Structure 1
Amino acid sequence: MKIICKKKNLFCLLIYTKTCATADQEPEVGTNPVQVEVGDFDEAIDVEEETVEDIVDNPCLNYHCKKGKVCEVDEGNTPMCVCQDPSTCPPADAEFEHVCGTDNKTYDSSCHFFATKCALEGTKKGHKLHLDYIGPCKYIETCLDSELNEFPLRMRDWLKNVLVTLYERDEDNNLLTEKQKLRVKKIYENEKRLQAGDHSLDLLAHDFEKNYNMYIFPVHWQFGQLDQHPVDGYLTHTELAPLRAPLIPMEHCTTRFFEECDSDSDKYIALEEWASCFGLKEQDVDKDLII
């Protein structure tokens, strides 16, 4: 997966290989991190396809375990998931494979992290432990109120540009569905659309006020991309991880932003809370837009 850092706009976008562009390179809009390999961040079950012969020889080949667990067979040759020993995880090849947990501890890789979390299942410490962000743990500056207000300005613009880029590159409907493309086409063809670039906060705020309707679908679309495990209309810490993890090291208001999105502090972000965080009007929140 490729990490491309936008100059002066520090949203880091995951593409295909794990290489980071230098600050001197031109800004580039890339693929939404949620749309590519989210396995390193979530705890979803891995899916593999095996032949009938393989399954007979080894029941574990078609038995899927979530991150941090591996399949073993008992005395009756029945497959079951057990916590993986962190020492069996492949060693990290480079620093970018390290991850930081919410315990402020650096783990060699996501494999080491989830194996450790699994061993703590059922404990208070394990319940509170989540993958916080990509890279070694480091000092994250305090997010000031003024900075928090700036965060959604860049985020909204980024979401809109990600969708436009997907629309431009989508030839086989692998990136967007037909219904999604119809929505994005209206944004793409609108002559008033603010083109991707390094814009001032004042311009971003002005464009949101002037071209408000262009931002409604991108905000809903991102919610739908995140709401996957399960699809229930709420975002959990785990579901937010594919978006949060790449951003935190570069956008120090990320954690506070998502914490305050949870306005009722129930550990879940509902669509209404999500939309409000991005400045959408209550009457424009529409579950039917989550295509």
Structure 2
Amino acid sequence: MRVWIVVALCLAGHAMAAPTEEELIVEEEPMVEEELVVEEAVPEEETTVGINPVQIETGEFDEAIQIEEDFPAENPCLNHHCKKGKVCEIDEENNSPMCVCQDPSSCPAAAGEFEHVCGTDNKTYDSSCHFFATKCALEGTKKGHKLHLDYLGACKFLETCVDAELSEFPLRMRDWLKNVLVTLFERDEDNNLLTEKQKVRVQKIYENVKRLQSGEHSLDLLAHDFEKNYNMYIFPVHWQFGELDQHPADGFLTHTELAPLRAPLIPMEHCTTRFFDECDADSDKYIALEEWAACFGIKEEDIDKDMVL
């Protein structure tokens, strides 16, 4: 899966850019004729992160992502992988690697409140490391099975999402998805933010003179645009499904796969949880492409698995 662009765009249309760091490498040459020659600092090449401007690194949430530990070459743990919340230890009896739950106290202290996360148990954890270590300790229990990372930040009171508010959620979400793709297309060039097939589809949206430009729009205008320019919204909805359906890519979205999208949104959009819960029309804990598309108002005859590129 491609890397993700971290641009935290909220549904209201604001954008945040994730900061990057540059390391300056200074090399020293030996003294020549009592003069010390120091080369100019050379910044490391900037690394592109992310493909979805709102979604943060999937690894922060995905309980199935494998994490590689750094060990000396002779250590059996060198090539052994453990999922989030576990660390590799050596079984002394046969000198073989094994994954054990990480002690939450061994997690690095949170650098600030921005690292706090809220679990579905409505408990604030110092960081995602503390959360997954705690979840691992509950593995095999009913409580552990139900425990998931809910959203970023400390737990707080979230207003009840009423029906009228719920009906407004997809209006903003559809518009946001369309603008995310247009932004990626504008910035892509040789950055491989989109595949060639995706570029072809987004280019048609980008060049359409009827396209509603990004910005603050009334709900009435968003509803009117969806009705008049319906075809512009079909691919963005399919694209987002494909971006989330990664672990594994099986045509269904789990709570964990939804986390990179929903976790940053919940503190800003209190209808997020109810919206995705109701997308699961058959209540089987999985959201199929057909259920996802229906949530965003895409007609059944326009659902096409080939668009999930």
TM above 0.5, yes or no, is yes
Structure 1 residues 47 and 151: alpha-carbon distance in aligned structure 2, compared to 1, 3 A threshold: same
CA contact (8 A) 1:12 1:246 kept: no
49, 52, 57: which one aligns with 1:37: 57
* Secondary structure of the structure 2 residue equivalent to 1:136: coil
Structure 1 residues 174 and 47: alpha-carbon distance in aligned structure 2, compared to 1, 3 A threshold: farther
CA contact (8 A) 1:42 1:239 kept: yes
CA contact (8 A) 1:234 1:271 kept: yes
Structure 1 residues 226 and 4: alpha-carbon distance in aligned structure 2, compared to 1, 3 A threshold: closer
CA contact (8 A) 2:254 2:287 kept: yes
The match for 1:276 is 294
88, 100, 108: which one aligns with 2:126: 108
User: Percent of aligned positions with the same letter in both sequences?
Assistant: 77
Structure 1 residues 270 and 202: alpha-carbon distance in aligned structure 2, compared to 1, 3 A threshold: same
2:146 aligned with 1:146: no
The match for 1:58 is 75
Shift of 1:73: 1.1
Taking the TM superposition and a 5 Å limit, the aligned residue runs for 1:119-130 are: 119-130=137-148
> Counterpart amino acid of 2:279?
C
Q: TM-score, normalised by structure 1?
A: 0.89
The match for 1:231 is 249
The match for 1:21 is none
Shift of 1:255: 0.2
Taking the TM superposition and a 5 Å limit, the aligned residue runs for 1:204-283 are: 204-283=222-301
2:182 aligned with 1:156: no
The match for 1:24 is none
Shift of 1:57: 1.1
Structure 1 residues 4 and 241: alpha-carbon distance in aligned structure 2, compared to 1, 3 A threshold: closer
2:91 aligned with 1:74: yes
> Counterpart amino acid of 1:127?
H
Structure 1 residues 103 and 12: alpha-carbon distance in aligned structure 2, compared to 1, 3 A threshold: farther
CA contact (8 A) 2:72 2:78 kept: yes
CA contact (8 A) 2:8 2:53 kept: no
Deviations 1:25-83 (A, max 9, x none): xxxxx94333x522112123245598xxx774122122111111111111122111111
2:114 aligned with 1:96: yes
CA contact (8 A) 1:15 1:33 kept: no
* Secondary structure of the structure 1 residue equivalent to 2:58: coil
Which entry has the higher C-alpha Rg, 1 or 2?
Answer: 2
* Secondary structure of the structure 2 residue equivalent to 1:215: helix
2:18 aligned with 1:16: yes
The answer for unaligned runs of 5 or more in structure 1 is 19-29
Aligned residues: 274
* Secondary structure of the structure 2 residue equivalent to 1:116: helix
Deviations 1:192-230 (A, max 9, x none): 100000000000000000000000000000000000111
The match for 2:30 is none
Shift of 1:287: 0.3
* Secondary structure of the structure 1 residue equivalent to 2:111: coil
CA contact (8 A) 1:140 1:252 kept: yes
> Counterpart amino acid of 2:163?
D
Deviations 1:232-259 (A, max 9, x none): 1000000000001000011000000000
Deviations 1:254-285 (A, max 9, x none): 00000000000000000000000000000000
Structure 1 residues 229 and 95: alpha-carbon distance in aligned structure 2, compared to 1, 3 A threshold: same
Structure 1 residues 114 and 11: alpha-carbon distance in aligned structure 2, compared to 1, 3 A threshold: farther
CA contact (8 A) 1:59 1:73 kept: yes
Instruction: Measure, in 2, the Cα distance between the counterparts of 1:49 and 1:120.
Output: 22
Instruction: Measure, in 1, the Cα distance between the counterparts of 2:251 and 2:52.
Output: 23
Instruction: Measure, in 2, the Cα distance between the counterparts of 1:238 and 1:181.
Output: 28
Larger mean CA deviation between 79-88 and 104-113 belongs to 79-88
Instruction: Measure, in 1, the Cα distance between the counterparts of 2:13 and 2:212.
Output: 18
CA contact (8 A) 1:11 1:251 kept: no
